[in-house]
Every structure is written in C-alpha cells, then in structure tokens.
Amino acid sequence: MVAITNTTSLTFLKDELDTTLGQAEAALEAFSEDQARVKDLTVCGEAFHQVRGICQMLELSAAALMAEEMELVAEDIPRSTRKTEQTAALSSAIVLLGRYLEYVQLKNQTLPELLIGGINELRRASGKPLINESHFFRVDVSRERTPPAMPNKSGRADVARLCRRLRHMYQVGLLGVLRGDSKVSLKLVGRALARIDRLCGTAPVNRLWWVARGAVEAMISDDMTLSAARKSLLSQYDRQIKRLVYEGERALDADVPLLLIKESVYVVSLCSHSDGLVGEIKRAFNVEQTLTDAVLQEEMALMSGASGSVIRSVAVALKEELRDIQSTLDLAAQGIADTNYDELSDTLLRLSGSLVMVGQAAEAELMRGRAAEVRRWRPESIDMEGEAFQSLVDDLLTVENAVATLERKYAPADDINREVRNSRISLYQLDEARMSVVAECRAGVSLTKRSLSAYIDNGGDRMHLANVPAVLGGVAGGLTFLELLRGKAIVDGCREYIDGSLLREGAQVPGREQMETLADAITSIDYYLESIEEQKPIGDAVLDVADESLAALGVTVRRPVAESA
C-alpha cells in the first residue's frame, strides 16, 4: 500500500473533483435520455480531462488512468456500435472514481489495485484488451532463479511425452478452479506445475515454472480470492504447458514471457508468509510485504460491498434451531431439566415462519400444528414414551431432512451424499457417518504416501512398504462402503503395482519418474477424497489422471461394470 503524501492537496481539491464528476454524471444522464444530445458527451470528455489532470498532479496514477479511459470512452461513443455498454460502464466508472477519491482521502493510502476492475470494465465495453492485475506493481523481472534449479535426470527429448499426461492433470485442476472448486483443484494444478518444473531442469524456461509454482502455492496457503484475472493467469500457464507438449526441446529454450513472470511474482507478493518457495521468490525479486490478499479483499469490499446466499444462510440457521429443539426434548425425556412447553411452542412457531421464508410450506404447516398441540402440554401429564411426544420427535426429523435437502440445493453435488428414501433416518447423521469413513480413507492414503517417501529415502528398503497393501485394502473397503467403486478400482491398481513391482522378491527399485507417477495416482485419490470432505467435489476427471498414471506404469485399472449413480 502506498501512503499519499499530499492528502492536504487532495482535501483542498476534493470539492472541485466532486463538482466536476457531478457535472459529467448529469451530462451523461442527459445523453442517455436523448442520444441526439452529443454535445453532452463533449461536456463529459472535458470533465474527465480536467479530473485526469488533477489526479496526475496529485500523483494518483490509477485515478489518472481511469479518468483517461473515461475520456476516451466519452469521445468514442458517438461513432461506436457499443453505445449502451459504454454508457453503462461510464456511469459506473463515475461512481467508482468518486468513491475511490473519498477512500484515498479517508484512508491516506492510494491502493491503485482498487480501480483495476473499473478500468477493465471501461476497456471491455470498448472492445480493448484488459490490463493485468499487476499493472501498478513494480519489480525487476530479469532476476535469476535463486537457488538455481536442479538438473533434469530425464532426457530433454522425453519432456514433450511426459508433459502430455501432466498437462491433462493440470487441465483437470484448472477446470475445477474455473467451476469454483478452488482449494483441492489448485493443489492438483500445483502438483502438475511442480512435476513440470522438475522435468524442465536447468533449461531457460524453468524460471517461469518456478514463479508459477510460487503463485499457486501462495493462492493455496492464503486461500486467496480466485478473481477473473487469477483464473486467466492459470489459463496462460496452460498455454505454456501446451508449448512444451507440441514444441518439445524448442520450447525449453524459448524466451520466458516476462509479463507472466511479473503477474506471478505479484500474486506471490500478496502472500502473508515468506516461508519455503514463496520466501525464495520474494527474496530473489526483492519483494517487500506491503499488502496481503486478505487486506486487498477487505478494502475492495469497502468499495463495492459483498453478497451471499440468503437461502443457504437461513437453512444453516434452521439447522441450529432444530438442534436446540432436539436437545430440549432429549433433556425432557431424560428428566434432567424442567421444560417450559409454552416457550417450546413459541420456538416451533418461529421455526414455522422461517420454513415459510424458504418455501417449505408443508413442513411449516406441520410445525404450526405441533406448536398448538405442545402449548397444551403440561410437565406432569406428558408421557415421554407416548405417541404425542414421539410423533413430535419424528416430525422434527422430517423437517430436519427437508432443511438438509434444501441446503444441498445450494451446495455442489457430491458422490456420497445421496438421497435417502427412508425419511425417518437423519440425513445429517448419515452424512457425518460417511464423512468419518472419508476421513479414515484419507488417513490411509496419507500413511501410504509417507511409506513410499520412506521407501525412496532409504534406497528401496521394502520394510517401509510391508503394511501398505493392508492399508490400501482398508481404503478400498471404505470406498466400497461409500459406493465409490471407480475410486476403489484405482486403489486396487495401486496396491497391485506395489505388490508386483515394489514388494516382489528380486524386484528392481523403480526410477524417480516411476515413483513420481505412482505418487500422481495416489495423490489423485487423496484430492478426490479431500474434495468430498470439503463438500466441493472435484468430479471424476481427477480419477482419469489416476487412470493415466497407472497405465503409464503398466497397470490396467479394472473399471466397475456399473458406476453408482
């Protein structure tokens, strides 16, 4: 963040800026009502030119650039075929620029990144290329990689062939990111970039993959917002991987795209920590920590506000209220506490009203009826084992399942939270049981990865793999319980390879590339389970990556005849 040194000057000129922007807004509104009044656009252009000059004098580079773009749009509208889009963008830009100047005055910092979105809206409306997120970021992109890359043990001629499968891995992760399944998908993207970086070794292009890995690691560690600009950056990495696949050795020696380097280092600069790879890049490029992504998003929220899913928020609140009611009834059934049934009736009525808000009319009517009945209950006369009490418990379970179903409509579908036909079984309890199995499966996969690392570090000592087949057998059993039959088939394939190629008496210790490929398959299963655990399923495409990895090892995965729906 850059502190503005001439806040006093801005305060002195703020009224003039506001007046000038107000005149431009009035003129633009007049033109919108009657597009024959082209002279009003001239008034707009002159106003924006004046604002631009003042902002340049105040050294507000982002505001000056935005005012320049506004002036160009105003001049272009009379002969443009995009009049509607440009007029709307210009109207929004006037409001945004006014709020930005107020922000600078109040906060005493410029933070030019706040205007990049508005500038790009103006450029998009005019059909111009967009500016990058790092437009106002200054860094020497000629810096060398520190520490240097390790040599590639595979031949340069093999890079194109090996990158083909890694590109598929990358694209599966990228597709998940574009769909909004960010964290697990980003891990898949990061793994693909790390493998590509090692393959490129000391070739000139390695600097790109170094900073690309750092950018992705920064996004993951700080749970950064994946804006359109950052998704575009990830897509540009994919185009560079494509060059490796189709151009092979020639791409290894190609010039590094400096704009991609700059954009990547900018993302790294927003990371809140300086450990590991992120720290290496910050030190190599002499990046000082002045702003984090979390702070940037907070400041953007001040400028533009935020939104959320009202329906899902209400569903979450309903779930908590239901748990409170069920807890009250549990205590009453055990005789632990005196229950005020009038208060319980009022709570059921409130619950009914909330259900109406989210369109659950039948359940709302059911709770209204129960509320009237509960109001007539008295502690000394109610039978905890009787039909009336048990019917209330059953009806609350019906409402709970309706709320759970509603909540799922506003969350990504996954492979294990399936509909249950028995309405007297709690969906929430079933989900918790399934998630426990998922967690156990992930623990088995993690143990397998640690065992493989120990096997490699100790020169192929098979003792470290002795328990792995049994562990993977347990994982396969868990996946069978969850009806994730394709995942089970892949785990069986990994176990088959370990049994036949690593544990077989007299077997040669596989090379690094083979072990990395096995790790790709196991890690794909881990990412698949993690995405389910986080309720942001990445889909079967990640299992395709595991299939390809095992195929590269000579293992044919026996697909289930019928996948679970």
Cα(462)–Cα(191) distance, integer angstroms: 26
Triad 324, 328, 333: Cα angle to 5°: 145
Cα(354)–Cα(311) distance, integer angstroms: 10
- The number of domains in the chain is 4
DSSP assignment of 541-554 equals HHHHHHHHHHHHTT
Specify whether 194 is located in the same domain as 299.
yes
Would you give the distance in Å from CA 292 to the centre of its chain? 17
- 202 is a domain residue: yes
- 358 is a domain residue: yes
Specify whether 335 is located in the same domain as 279.
no
Answer yes or no: are the C-beta atoms of 133 and 115 closer than 8 Å.
Answer: no
Specify whether 52 is located in the same domain as 90.
yes
Which residue, 246, 273, 304, sits at the end of a domain?
304
Q: Which two tokens stand for residue 473?
A: 């057998």
Distance set, CA 492 to CA 226, 447, 473, 500 (Å):
35, 16, 8, 12
Specify whether 296 is located in the same domain as 332.
no
Cα(179)–Cα(290) distance, integer angstroms: 31
Confidence (pTM): 0.71
Which residue, 104, 125, 146, sits at the end of a domain?
125
- 178 is a domain residue: yes
pLDDT digits (tens, 9 = 90+) for 334-374: 777 677 888 888 888 888 877 876 677 888 888 888 888 88
CATH at 326: 1.20.120
- 559 is a domain residue: no
When mean pLDDT is compared across 236-245, 398-407, 481-490, the lowest value belongs to: 398-407
Cα(106)–Cα(29) distance, integer angstroms: 28
User: Which pLDDT value is given to residue 357?
Assistant: 67
pLDDT of residue 125 exceeding 70: yes
Specify whether 432 is located in the same domain as 537.
yes
Cα(242)–Cα(247) distance, integer angstroms: 8
- 139 is a domain residue: no
Range of the domain at 111: 7-125
Mean pLDDT of the chain: 86
State mean pLDDT over 123-129: 93
Q: Which two tokens stand for residue 347?
A: 């709570």
Cα(196)–Cα(167) distance, integer angstroms: 9
Specify whether 273 is located in the same domain as 395.
no
- 415 is a domain residue: no
Which position has the higher pLDDT, 287 or 426? 287
CATH at 79: 1.20.120.160
Cα(459)–Cα(463) distance, integer angstroms: 11
Helix (H, G, I), strand (E, B) or coil at 379: coil
- 132 is a domain residue: no
pLDDT of residue 411 exceeding 60: no
Specify whether 372 is located in the same domain as 386.
yes
Compute the residue count for the chain: 565
* pLDDT classification of 1: cutoffs 50, 70, 90: very low
Cα(49)–Cα(52) distance, integer angstroms: 5
Those residues with Cβ within 8 angstroms of residue 236's Cβ, 6 or more apart along the chain or in another chain: 257, 260
Residue 132 falls in which region: left (phi positive, over 0), alpha (psi -120 to 50) or beta: beta
Specify whether 207 is located in the same domain as 278.
yes
Specify whether 363 is located in the same domain as 250.
no
Distance set, CA 443 to CA 182, 306, 498 (Å):
22, 37, 18
User: Environment class of residue 393 by beta-carbon count within 10 Å: exposed (0-12), middle (13-18) or buried (19+)?
Assistant: middle
User: Which pLDDT value is given to residue 308?
Assistant: 33
DSSP assignment of 110-169 equals --GGGGHHHHHHHHHHTTPPPPPTTTT----TTPPPSSPPPPPSS-GGGHHHHHHHHHHH
Answer yes or no: are the C-beta atoms of 145 and 207 closer than 8 Å.
Answer: yes
- 435 is a domain residue: yes
Those residues with Cβ within 8 angstroms of residue 366's Cβ, 6 or more apart along the chain or in another chain: 395, 398, 399
Answer yes or no: are the C-beta atoms of 426 and 397 closer than 8 Å.
Answer: yes
pLDDT digits (tens, 9 = 90+) for 47-99: 999 999 999 999 999 999 999 999 999 999 999 998 999 999 999 999 899 98
Specify whether 265 is located in the same domain as 284.
yes
User: Which pLDDT value is given to residue 420?
Assistant: 44
Specify whether 285 is located in the same domain as 325.
no
pLDDT digits (tens, 9 = 90+) for 220-269: 999 999 988 899 999 999 999 999 999 988 999 888 889 999 999 999 99
User: Which pLDDT value is given to residue 428?
Assistant: 55
Percentage of the residues of the chain whose pLDDT score is greater than 90? 53
Specify whether 16 is located in the same domain as 91.
yes
User: Which pLDDT value is given to residue 417?
Assistant: 47
Helix (H, G, I), strand (E, B) or coil at 109: strand
